[in-house]
A and B are shown apart, each in its own frame.
Chain A
Amino acid sequence: MPKKKGVPLIFERSVPGRRGYRLPKLDVPEVPVDELIPAEHLREKPAELPEVSEVEVMRHYTQLSRLNHGVDVGFYPLGSCTMKYNPRVNEDVAALPGLSTIHPYQPESSVQGALELMYNLGQHLAEISGLAAATLQPAAGAHGELTGLLVIKAYHKQRGEEHRTEIIIPDSAHGTNPASVAMVGYDVVEVPSDERGGVDVEALKRAVGPKTAGLMLTNPNTLGLFDENICDITAMVRQAGGLLYYDGANANAILGIVRPGDMGFDIVHYNLHKTFSTPHGGGGPGSGPIVVTEELAPFLPGPVVAKEGDRFFFTQPEKSIGRVQAFYGNFSVLVKAYAYILSHGSAGLREVSEVAVLNANYMMRRLQDVYYLPYDRACKHEFVLSGKWQKQYGVRTLDIAKRLLDYGVHAPTVYFPLNVEEALMIEPTETEPKSAIDEFIEAMRQIAQEAKEDPEQLKKAPQLTPVGRLDEAKAARRPVLRWQKTE
C-alpha cells in the first residue's frame, strides 16, 4: 500500500508559465501603461500567485474537500451552531441571475424584487420574534449583537442616561456577548447560574441598578435549558431602566412556540445560518439581522426597506445609529433564509422546533447513564453532558471528542459552556434521521466503555482521520501563517 500522503499547497503545484483561466483578447486600442499611470504607482514585483491549470485547480480542491466533514458528509452535532441540513433549492433560487447579479446602486425601480424580498423577510422575522422592525444589515450573529448594543447605547443617550454603562450577562453566555459589549465601550457584569441552570435571580437582583444599560440572554441558554424565571428576569431589568437583548443563537428551539417579544425582550438577533438553514460555508457568510420594538425602530442602521402602495424603497430611520457595513447586508444569505421560511410556513417552523427538541431529549435520556448529566430536566434543542465520570480513567472530554471523529461524526462543542466541567454540548437538530442519532448514541456509549477498558485508545485518537491529533502549541509558539516562496 502506498503511504497516506498529504495534499500539497496550491502554491507547491505551481509551474512557471502554466495558465488557468484566460481573459478574452483586449478589444480596445492598447496604450502604454506608463502613459496612463505614473511609474511611481506601479508595482515593482508581481504577486507570487500560483501558476496552475484549470484541471489542477479542480483536482486540488476536490482532493481537499475529501479531507473535510460537513453536514452533507455526516452527523454534525456541534452545540449552539445548529448544523441542520441546507436545502439545495435555496441555493438554486439564490443563484438566479435576477437575484445574484444585481448591483447595490441600481435605480430602485430596477430592483423592486430584491426590495420586496427584504421587506417581507423583515416582516416575517418580526412576526417570528414578536417584535416590530428589522434591519438585515448585520453580517453575522456577533455583528447583530454589536448592532443591538449600539441601538441600546443610542437609546440611553437620547434619554440623557449615558451613565448606564453596564450590560449584564450570565456566566453561560457565548464569548461573543462579552466581546460585543467591549466593542461598544460598555462594561460586562457577569451573573452566575443557579442550581437549575438558569440565571441566579438573587444575583441578578444585586447586579441591576442605575448603571444597568441592559441584559443579554440566550434562552434557551447554552445548557439547552429554558429559563423558568424569564418573566421575573425581564421585569427586573426593565424596572431598573435597562433594555433586554435576546441572543437568538438558540432560536431553533422555540419557533412558533414562544416569541422573544412575549418574553419581554426589546431586541433579538437571529443567526440565519443556524435557525434558517443557510449554509455555514466553513465559517461564513452568516447573517445576523436584528429585530426591535417599535420604540427602538428609529435607531436601526440604515437604509431599511419601506413600502408605499406597491412600491418598495430604501429609507433612513429617523435617529439611525449609522451603518454597520457597506450596502445592505449579506443579501444572498437573506434570499436563502426567506426561501426557508416560505418552504415551512407557520406549522412547518413549529414542527422544526418540536422535532429539534424531541431529538435532543431522546439523546440526553439515552446517554445520561454513561455520562454525567449536570442538569436533569427536559432540555430544549441541545443539552450538555460532562466528561467528569471519565476523568477517573485519565480520559478527558477532548479525548472523547477526538475519538468520535474515528466514528465518522463531528464532535459536539466541547469545554463550553464554561460553567460545566469537561462540557460536551450536543445539538442534533431536526433534520437527522433516527438512524444517525442512534449511531451517534451507540458511538458515545462505546466510547464510554473504551474509557474504562482501554483509555489509551482514546488518548491516541483520532487514528482514522486524514491527520492525527495536531500540535496546536507548536502552531501558536512559532506561527507559520502562510506559504512563502523559497528561492
Chain B
Amino acid sequence: MRYIPLTDQEKQEMLEEIGVESVDELFEDIPSRMLLKEPLPLPAALSEAELIRHFQELAAKNVDLSQTVSFLGGGAYDHLIPSIIKHIAGRGEYLTAYTPYQAEISQGVLQSIFEFQGLIAELTGMEAANASIYDGATALAEAALMACAVTGRKKVLLPATLHPEWKEVAELYLKSQDLAVEYIPYDPRKGTLDPAALEKTEWSQFAGAVVQQPNFFGLLEEAAPVSQRIREQGGLFIMAVDAISLGLLKSPGELGADIAVGDGQSLGNTVSFGGPSLGFFATSGSKLIRRMPGRVVGETVDKEGRRGFVLTLQTREQHIRRERATSNICSNQALNAFISTIYLSVLGKKGFQDVAFQNLQKSNYFQQRLLEIGGLSLKFSAPSFREFVIRGDVDWEEMNLRLLEHGFIGGLPLKRFGFPQAALFAVTEARTKEEMDAFINVFRGLI
C-alpha cells in the first residue's frame, strides 16, 4: 500500500522475530465471531493521480469565493490572506508535530504558542491567553462555564444579540451541567442591548454576563454599563469580540472584562466552509488565569540558564486532573493559532489597524450605495463595523440564487434566524470598489 514501507521479506523477518506464522495470529485474542468476514464496502482505492482528479471534480461542484463576489459573513469572513502564511504553516516541523509534550525538541511550536498568547493578550488588552479553543462559540461556552465555577453561581446572562449558533452552543454546554441561561433583551430599533432592561436585571444572581462586540448584526454595543453592573455584583464580565475589530475598537481590557473570547478565523485562516477556525481565550489576574481551560505555555530556563518554553499550569488539565479538570479539551486548534500568529506578525502594529480601518470604510461605502436603491433601509440604527443589516421587501434567499447566476452572493438572509425581510451584509478589505459597484448595478436590475 502507498504509505507502508515494509517489504514482504521484512514482514517475514518480523513475524519470525515475534514467533508467529502470520499476522492473523496477532489478532487471535479478538473473539472470532466478531471478526469481519467480508471486506468493508468502500470504494476501490485510488492512486494519487486519480485522487486529485476526483477531488477536482468535487471542488468543481462548489462555487468558491474566487469565482464569485460574496458579501457573506455572520462569523466567517473573506479577508485577504498574505501568501507567506501557507509557506510557513505548511512546514512539516509544525504541521506534523503534536502537542509539545517533549519540550526540548518542541521549542518551535512552544515558542510560537507563547508568541500567540502574547499577541492575543495585546489585542484583547488582557493579561494572559491560552493556546486556543475549538472556535469562538466553544470559547464562549467555556468562558461561561468558568464564570460559574469561579463564582459558584448557576446562571449566566447572554445577550439576545449574540450569534444564534453561539447561543445554541453555550446553552448546550451550560444546560448539560444544570446551569441556566437568561438573555438580556435588545432594543429592536437600535439593534443593541436595551438599556432599560439593564435596570431591571438582578445582577447578583448571575455568574457572568456576556456582550458580543460587534454583535451578530454587526452593531456596536454599549459594553461599559454591563461590565460595571455585573462586576459590582460579583459576577464576571465576558466579552466575545471580533478579532479584526480590535484594530479599531476598545479592547475588552479597556472595558473591564474578566474574560475575553472570540473567533480567530479572520486572522489569516481560509473560510473553509466554516472550519477549522480557532477560538481565543484571554483573562486577567492570577486567580482566573489558573482556572483557564486548555493548554498554556510559559517561559522558563534550562540548567544552563537558557530561555525555553514549556506547557505549564498543567494541573488544571484533563491528563492530570481527570474529572476535576477545568475542561476536557486536549487537542485544540494549534495550527490555526499558528496561522494567526504569522498573520498578526506580518501585518504588524500598523497593518492590523489598516485592516480594521478599511473594513469600516468599505462597509460604509457599500452601505451608502445599497441605501441609494429604493425600498431598502437599515434595519437598525446603532453604528456598525464591517457588517450591517438591510431591510427590504425581498426574498433574500431567492435573490442570492439569482445573484449567483451573475457571479455574486449578497448578504446572509436572516430568515433562518427569524427576520424574513432582512439580510446581513459583510464587507471586508478584500472587496474592491469595482466589485461593489458592479454588484449594485446587477442588484438594481434584479430587485
Closest to B90 in A: A91
Q: Does A391 contact B (CB under 8 A)?
A: no
User: Would you list which residues of chain B between 160 and 210 have a CB under 8 Å from chain A?
Assistant: 163, 165-166, 168-169, 171-173, 176-178
- Shortest Cβ distance from B230 into chain A, in angstroms? 19
Centre residue among A107, A230, A432 by max chain B CB count within 10 A: A107
Q: A68: which of B40, B109, B299, B327 is its contact (CB, 8 Å)?
A: B109
Q: A434: which of B10, B297, B429 is its contact (CB, 8 Å)?
A: B10
- Shortest Cβ distance from B114 into chain A, in angstroms? 7
- Shortest Cβ distance from A297 into chain B, in angstroms? 18
Closest to B332 in A: A284
A-B contacts, 14 listed (Cβ < 8 Å): A20-B346, A27-B433, A43-B247, A68-B93, A68-B97, A68-B109, A70-B92, A98-B58, A106-B72, A174-B319, A179-B328, A279-B335, A330-B275, A377-B29
A259–B36 Cα gap in the complex (Å)?
7
Closest to B319 in A: A175
Centre residue among B105, B119, B134 by max chain A CB count within 10 A: B105
A345–B39 Cα gap in the complex (Å)?
9
A430–B375 Cα gap in the complex (Å)?
64
Q: B346: which of A57, A263, A286, A330 is its contact (CB, 8 Å)?
A: A57
Q: Does the CB pair B107–A52 fall under 8 Å?
A: no
Q: A37-B248, A150-B176, A470-B104 are in contact. Are A481 and B329 (CB under 8 A)?
A: no
Closest to B102 in A: A411
User: Which residues on A sit within 8 Å (CB–CB) of B358?
Assistant: 23, 26
- Shortest Cβ distance from A359 into chain B, in angstroms? 8
A104–B277 Cα gap in the complex (Å)?
12
Q: Does A1 contact B (CB under 8 A)?
A: no
Q: Does A9 contact B (CB under 8 A)?
A: yes
Q: Does B11 contact A (CB under 8 A)?
A: yes
Q: Does A159 contact B (CB under 8 A)?
A: no
Q: Does the CB pair A434–B109 fall under 8 Å?
A: no
Which segment of A139-147, A203-211, A449-457 sits at the interface?
Answer: A139-147
Q: Does the CB pair B4–A481 fall under 8 Å?
A: no
Q: Does B159 contact A (CB under 8 A)?
A: no
Q: Does the CB pair B168–A323 fall under 8 Å?
A: yes
What is the 8 Å Cβ interface bit string for chain A, positions 247-284, against chain B (1 contact, 0 not)?
00000001011110011000000010100010111111
A283–B247 Cα gap in the complex (Å)?
28
What is the 8 Å Cβ interface bit string for chain A, positions 165-176, against chain B (1 contact, 0 not)?
000000000111
Q: Does A158 contact B (CB under 8 A)?
A: no
Across chains A and B, which 6 residue pairs bring their CB atoms closest together, nearest first?
A: A98-B59, A327-B274, A72-B92, A281-B335, A68-B108, A113-B61
User: Which residues on A sit within 8 Å (CB–CB) of B68?
Assistant: 110
Q: Does the CB pair A101–B34 fall under 8 Å?
A: no
What is the 8 Å Cβ interface bit string for chain B, positions 291-329, against chain A (1 contact, 0 not)?
000011111111110111110111101111111110111
- Shortest Cβ distance from B1 into chain A, in angstroms? 5
A39–B48 Cα gap in the complex (Å)?
56
Q: Does B364 contact A (CB under 8 A)?
A: yes
Q: A31: which of B34, B307, B351, B364 is its contact (CB, 8 Å)?
A: B364
User: Would you list which residues of chain A between 434 and 485 have a CB under 8 Å from chain B?
Assistant: 434, 462, 465-472, 474-476, 479-484
Q: A176: which of B106, B328, B353, B364 is its contact (CB, 8 Å)?
A: B328
Q: Does A329 contact B (CB under 8 A)?
A: yes
Q: Does A332 contact B (CB under 8 A)?
A: yes
- Shortest Cβ distance from B81 into chain A, in angstroms? 9
Closest to B74 in A: A105
Q: Does the CB pair A280–B96 fall under 8 Å?
A: yes
Closest to A332 in B: B272
Q: Does B28 contact A (CB under 8 A)?
A: yes
Closest to A109 in B: B401
Q: Does A92 contact B (CB under 8 A)?
A: yes
What is the 8 Å Cβ interface bit string for chain A, positions 54-82, against chain B (1 contact, 0 not)?
10011011101111111111001010010
Q: Does A325 contact B (CB under 8 A)?
A: yes
User: Which residues on A sit within 8 Å (CB–CB) of B270?
Assistant: 100-101, 332
Q: Does the CB pair A128–B94 fall under 8 Å?
A: no
Closest to B109 in A: A282
Q: Does B103 contact A (CB under 8 A)?
A: yes
- Shortest Cβ distance from A243 into chain B, in angstroms? 16
Q: Does the CB pair A358–B107 fall under 8 Å?
A: no
Q: A7-B111, A282-B97 are in contact. Are A470 and B308 (CB under 8 A)?
A: yes
A282–B336 Cα gap in the complex (Å)?
10
User: Which residues on A sit within 8 Å (CB–CB) of B447?
Assistant: none
Q: Does the CB pair B58–A117 fall under 8 Å?
A: yes
What is the 8 Å Cβ interface bit string for chain A, positions 424-435, against chain B (1 contact, 0 not)?
000000111110
Q: Does A48 contact B (CB under 8 A)?
A: yes
User: Would you list which residues of chain A between 1 and 36 have a CB under 8 Å from chain B?
Assistant: 4, 6-7, 9-11, 18-24, 26-31, 33, 36
Q: Does the CB pair A20–B328 fall under 8 Å?
A: no
A410–B96 Cα gap in the complex (Å)?
12
User: Which residues on B sit within 8 Å (CB–CB) of A307?
Assistant: none
A91–B119 Cα gap in the complex (Å)?
27
Q: Does the CB pair A150–B328 fall under 8 Å?
A: no
Q: B107: which of A67, A324, A377, A380 is its contact (CB, 8 Å)?
A: A67
**Chain A interface extent, by class:** 35 or more
User: Which residues on A sit within 8 Å (CB–CB) of B65?
Assistant: 97, 101-103
- Shortest Cβ distance from A269 into chain B, in angstroms? 12
A35–B335 Cα gap in the complex (Å)?
39
Q: A176-B318, A322-B168 are in contact. Are A348 and B1 (CB under 8 A)?
A: yes
A343–B308 Cα gap in the complex (Å)?
41
Q: Does A164 contact B (CB under 8 A)?
A: no
Q: A68-B105, A127-B42, A326-B169 are in contact. Are A472 and B310 (CB under 8 A)?
A: yes
A76–B35 Cα gap in the complex (Å)?
30
A89–B129 Cα gap in the complex (Å)?
34
A277–B96 Cα gap in the complex (Å)?
10
Q: Does the CB pair B248–A33 fall under 8 Å?
A: yes
- Shortest Cβ distance from B256 into chain A, in angstroms? 14
Q: A107: which of B2, B35, B404 is its contact (CB, 8 Å)?
A: B404
- Shortest Cβ distance from A17 into chain B, in angstroms? 8
Q: Does B232 contact A (CB under 8 A)?
A: no
Q: Does A370 contact B (CB under 8 A)?
A: no
Q: B360: which of A37, A54, A484 is its contact (CB, 8 Å)?
A: A37
User: Would you list which residues of chain B between 408 and 447 have a CB under 8 Å from chain A?
Assistant: 409, 412, 429, 432-434, 436
Q: A21-B347, A326-B75, A482-B121 are in contact. Are A183 and B96 (CB under 8 A)?
A: no
What is the 8 Å Cβ interface bit string for chain A, positions 338-373, against chain B (1 contact, 0 not)?
010111111111111011011101100110000000
Q: Does A160 contact B (CB under 8 A)?
A: no
A329–B333 Cα gap in the complex (Å)?
12
What is the 8 Å Cβ interface bit string for chain B, positions 57-89, against chain A (1 contact, 0 not)?
111111111111010101110101010101110
Q: Does the CB pair A325–B169 fall under 8 Å?
A: yes
Q: Does the CB pair B29–A101 fall under 8 Å?
A: no
Closest to B14 in A: A362
Q: Does the CB pair A78–B335 fall under 8 Å?
A: no
User: Which residues on A sit within 8 Å (CB–CB) of B45?
Assistant: 342-345, 347-348
Closest to B326 in A: A179
User: Which residues on A sit within 8 Å (CB–CB) of B94?
Assistant: 65, 68, 70, 281-282
User: Which residues on A sit within 8 Å (CB–CB) of B59?
Assistant: 93, 96-99, 113
Q: Does A181 contact B (CB under 8 A)?
A: yes
Centre residue among A6, A91, A259, A322 by max chain B CB count within 10 A: A322
Q: Does the CB pair B330–A140 fall under 8 Å?
A: yes
What is the 8 Å Cβ interface bit string for chain B, positions 1-18, against chain A (1 contact, 0 not)?
111111000110111011
User: Which residues on A sit within 8 Å (CB–CB) of B28?
Assistant: 378
Q: A326: which of B20, B31, B137, B317 is its contact (CB, 8 Å)?
A: B137
Q: Does the CB pair A468–B62 fall under 8 Å?
A: no
Q: Does the CB pair A23–B354 fall under 8 Å?
A: yes
Q: Does the CB pair A78–B64 fall under 8 Å?
A: no
Q: A283: which of B129, B295, B354 is its contact (CB, 8 Å)?
A: B295
User: Which residues on A sit within 8 Å (CB–CB) of B176?
Assistant: 150, 153, 183-185
A479–B284 Cα gap in the complex (Å)?
13
A479–B27 Cα gap in the complex (Å)?
48
Q: Does B344 contact A (CB under 8 A)?
A: yes
A1–B59 Cα gap in the complex (Å)?
53
Q: Does the CB pair B272–A331 fall under 8 Å?
A: yes
